[in-house]
Amino acid sequence: MATVFWDSQGIILIDYLEKGKTITGKPVESILLLYFYSKMIKG
């Protein structure tokens, strides 16, 4: 499974979940932190 964040300028973050893994609160938190960090770097 892939989680993709994008805006009007293109893709910001792509994160892949390993086969057989389930989404829980902790991975979602990590993905969101990566997303916000990526947004800060891109400006």
Stretch (H or E) spanning 14: strand 10-16
* pLDDT score, position 17: 85
Amino acid at 16: Y
The percentage of the chain sitting over the pLDDT mark of 70, rounded to a whole number, equals: 98
Stretch (H or E) spanning 3: strand 2-7
Determine contact, residues 35/5, Cβ cutoff 8 Å. yes
Q: Give me the mean pLDDT over the 4-30 stretch.
A: 84
10 strand-pairing partners: 7
Determine contact, residues 1/18, Cβ cutoff 8 Å. no
